[in-house]
A and B are shown apart, each in its own frame.
Chain A
Amino acid sequence: MAGRLDGKVAVILGASNPQSMGAATARRFVAEGAKVVLAARRKDAVAAIAEEVGAVAAACDITREDELAALAKLAVDTFGALDIAVNYAGLEVNGSVIDSSADDWRAACEVHLVGTALFIKQMALAMAQGGSIITASSLTALVQAPGLAAYAATKGGADVLMRVAANELGERGIRVNSIAPGFTQSAMTAGYFAVDAVKNAFLKEIPLGRFSTIEDIASAALWLASDEAFITGQVVDITAGQSLRRTPRADEFV
């Protein structure tokens, strides 16, 4: 069976756990015929996952432009091109506006805004024949709740950045979109999913009646990555309809 990404070369950043969106996306992309460079901040964390899925492992800190340039170069040097780049690197920052420190804000900005901007820049520079860039947005950027102030705000800012980049990079044949996952069962949310009260509070706000999985996110990434997706500058909402309702408040987790 012909794969939907036959002949494509992809970089996926943010896969330091086998139960991450990055790992699931790498598995799906490889199954669809793509050559994949799989990266995370710590190479020891990504090496085993890369080996399992048949990808090349790399270390990359999204806040370091030189490391992003090296990551793109690794894909081009290893596989001859770069067609697809997916960024799932994220930093969980909890806290209300009052409770968040300047350091919290700067840390969130550094990863979600500065990092995403440099990621788009360096991947675009390496895409000689056009391509598809995908970044991770968030349910919290679509329907806000108290808490997660710096996280939601910087994810929302990254979506505006994504739209500006899409408007600018279209002439290079590069599409730029984001995926807003819902409350997804992944390594990052394992702590929340361990608490029934949290799960139940979320579940009643999800029209489709189940949590999104890392495989659901990988499917959306696959569609956005494929040449047949004539779409750019969009937030693709994989929240199972939760953005039609709301994000529950922490005081409901009882």
Chain B
Amino acid sequence: MVETAEKVEKSSVKEAPHAAANLTVSNQEMAASRTPTEVRANVVNPDGKLNFSNIYGPEGVNPELATPLKAVKPGDPVQTGDGRVVAPVTDNAGHPTDNPASVSNDAGVIKSRQDLAKLTDGMTPDQKREVQADMTAIENRKPPLSADQVKSIYDSTAKLLRNEGDRSPLSADERNQLAGSILHNASLRTGTDQGFHNTCNVTTLERRLNVTNPAEAARIVSEVGLTGEFKSKDGQVIKLDQASLHEDAESRLQFGDKATDGKRNYASQLFDMAEINNYWQHQKPPLFYSQVAPTGQSDTGERLTYANGTEVKGPDGKPMRQPALSTDAMAEIGKDLGFTGKFIISNADVAGPGQSDGTSKVRNYQEFTDALTNGQPPAIIMVNSNDRLFGGNGDKGGSGGWHVVNVSDYKAGPPAQVFMTNQWGSANNKWVNVSDLYNATLPTNSGRVGADGQGGDQGGQQGGGDQGGQQGGGDQGGTRRGWSRNDGVMRDEDFRSWKKAIEQEDPNKDPNKDQSKKPQQHLLELIQPLQNQLETAINNHDDAQAGILRAKIESLRGTSGN
């Protein structure tokens, strides 16, 4: 949005520059609180409705948190799932002791570990050290992974390194790098980062899979690295752009190096390729997602194309250089990954009305906390990246793009807090107030609640879905209806209308064979998202943007003769 001096004078009320200090605790406090042996009390609100024990199990310990960033050191005593502290399962050198409680002593795990270790001979000493640290962390995750999970992670990684039949499109160095990053992601020693790509959507799903079923994450990435393609659950072979399978400028950074913090690693790159293409190649028309060398300073290198290579256009007529997924689309991917229940939470005024499998669309703070209570961890939350929680300035002076984060562990408080795993690097993984997180899901400044969850518009007064336009508050930012270029996550309504439009635009389609859509209907589908954006621009008093959008709408109408 372009702001004129005149406009700023009119809206001269200044916000505190950054309220983040009030929202979070320091990294040191965070690290201290992530002591793996701590058992947390459940969060129960005075009204008794917010009870996190449903999410985090009878001990109130979240598996993601309990799998520590502050990893168990070799030789440390270990707490079992039932709270008992038992003798070390590894000695000081990281080798398993004879403690029968340790998954490290499972015969199958021992064999798989030994097989994998032999295959790391081609790695550098630094890489080997990192692999060892990751394996130690995997075998000491809390609650412990089953022996089958650990064995399966190792076997998938070993299969990639073994490369029987020499069929992998990757070089030996790339396979080493990929194997290391598979183990690293399964270890949960750090966050899972998206780097400079619009892939918050699939990164949150990948993180969730590595928490709940890391063997499946390892299997998917290993299969892609070995074959250059991916077989979906229905048997369809998902074709992947071969050039996109090689390391990009971020993923070639040595795994374990500090410079990788915030960057997308190689396993995540291939996971993104597999799952985004798995979704789009099941749609009509099938689309293809790839990664090319950036052609400019703000280019993430992402491309979404039709089968003939033509770039797909976004609702604004520009190339759609991102995965282009809504929460409903993410939920479909999640279901394919084996997720059940409602694991994505968004605000109904943003994502649109209606519920779908895997998503909870909430209308107020109470529904938000209820959705957390009923979901399985770690939940995925759709948030406004321009909210103060993310270093933005709320809805003043800019429009936020929609983004998703994972939330997991909690502290009772007050105020109640959850641990947020963002994909922007370790500094962005932090404790946040549940109320602040809820506020970040809102489309506008209106309806914000205090630290106690009180205040705001309770009881659905915020407007509902299509009726959300009544919320606009002039300089407060409007409703954020309509698609904003490069939103990390699209609103479901915008997504559906855009998908209809691109079906008509498919250059591979023979217009003589499909008369199902009349030109007039097609035109309306193209214009509708632009009209939504125009409404937002008018609410924001963004005259320049409104002018551009009016011209585009007139141009489309003119082209059709209407």
A binds B: no
User: Residues of B with Cβ closer than 8 Å to A?
Assistant: none
